[in-house]
Amino acid sequence: MDQQYGVPCSTAFGKQIRQSKYPVYRMLDRHHGSHFWSGNAVNYEKLYNNILPYALQAIAGSVNSTDRPFVACDFGAGDGGTSMKLMTEIIRAVRAKYGKEKPIVIVYEDLPWNDFKSLFFLTQGLFEDQRNFLPQDKNVFLLASGTNFYERCLPPNYVDLAVSCSAMHWLSKRPCNLQWDIIGQGDKVSYEELDAYKKQAAVDWETILINRAKELKIGAHIIIAIVGTKEGVHSGSTAIYKVKVIPYLRDLWLSFATAGRITKVRPFSGVYNVK
């Protein structure tokens, strides 16, 4: 790996790897290869299913040359289980418009330490307990990109349809340490802290759009479902939640510091880098 990623560091992978220039978000090793993520992310699957009408509309209006494959990409795909129903319908819609011989490429993008083992087990139908399966189609080709979406992930003028659900709210870096909260939109965040997060989010959003614009074909579509705020209310604290998730996690974390289970100097060192 290139020197720009820093000096070697010991990680939970059990090997010496270089420090990533981006924050590391990853599951515990014991969950890898078990489709743990999609098995516990029903709400994210609903998000993917909710964007299906927009995806079908995009395919209906697409113009794809006869000699190039139709390329769909899921940015921040996790183990692929949450988007499987959506990808199934995308394949069917492309088949209906372009015929059974049109090559279809599906690219699943996520971080290098993502659970790609589960992804390929799921897409090939190898888990005994899985309920959803991609269509068996000899002209569908499944690929993975382990490049952070703050970088270019795919060749220019390559993608016909891109989707992303609840992934692009993760910041490329933490703009500042939070004094009394674990998320930049928390109700105990100061004005100065919130302003720093807003500025970082604006820079990151521009970077994402520039990179995706280079990857999309002319006339292609990208559909993004992302966490947002409205009048000070953020996802995890709206009326549909029985428990306000972020305040609950913050108070739980702080209680660990008060009880001496963690040191008082680091109760908020693990803040989420979220827009």
Looking at per-residue confidence, does 31 or 87 come out higher?
A: 87
Residue 254 resides in a domain:
no
Helix (H) or strand (E) holding 123: helix 116-123
pTM reported for the whole predicted model: 0.83
What is the per-residue pLDDT for 253?
83
Q: Judge whether 217 and 160 are in contact, CB under 8 Å.
A: yes
- Record the tokens describing residue 6, joined without a space: 């820093």
What is the per-residue pLDDT for 267?
61
Residue 35 resides in a domain:
yes
Place of tokens 């989420």: 272
Confidence of residue 60 (pLDDT cuts 50, 70, 90): very high
Looking at per-residue confidence, does 118 or 275 come out higher?
A: 118
State the average pLDDT over residues 18-32: 65
What is the total count of domains within the chain?
1
Alpha-carbon distance of 182 to 206, in angstroms, equals: 24
Residue 51 resides in a domain:
yes
pLDDT at 72 over 60: yes
Q: Report the CATH number at residue 79.
A: 3.40.50.150
Q: Any idea of the CA torsion for 253, 273, 238, 240, to the nearest 10 degrees?
A: -80
When mean pLDDT is compared across 123-137, 145-159, 258-272, the lowest value belongs to 258-272
The 10s digit of each residue's pLDDT in 193-224 is 989 998 999 999 999 999 999 999 999 999 99
pLDDT at 110 over 90: yes
Report percent pLDDT > 90 for the chain. Answer: 48
Residue 178 resides in a domain:
no
Phi/psi region, residue 157 (left: phi>0; alpha: psi -120 to 50; beta: rest), is left
Q: Please tell me the number of Cα atoms within 13 Å of 194 on its side-chain side.
A: 10
Collapse the DSSP code of 104 into the 3-class scheme (helix H, G, I; strand E, B; otherwise coil) and give the result: strand
- Record the tokens describing residue 82, joined without a space: 């949450």
State the average pLDDT over residues 106-128: 92
What is the per-residue pLDDT for 180?
81
Length of the chain: 275
pLDDT at 107 over 60: yes
When mean pLDDT is compared across 138-142, 174-178, 212-216, 241-245, the lowest value belongs to 241-245
Strands 216-225 and 16-18: unpaired
pLDDT at 158 over 60: yes
Looking at per-residue confidence, does 214 or 24 come out higher?
A: 214
pLDDT at 79 over 60: yes
What is the per-residue pLDDT for 23?
64
Alpha-carbon distance of 136 to 104, in angstroms, equals: 12
State the average pLDDT over residues 46-65: 92
- Please give the residue range of the domain that contains residue 146: 27-171+191-230
What DSSP state is assigned to residue 170?
A: B
Residue 81 resides in a domain:
yes
Residue 186 resides in a domain:
no
Residue 82 resides in a domain:
yes
Place of tokens 């299913």: 49
Q: Judge whether 135 and 85 are in contact, CB under 8 Å.
A: no
Alpha-carbon distance of 154 to 176, in angstroms, equals: 31
Residue 239 resides in a domain:
no
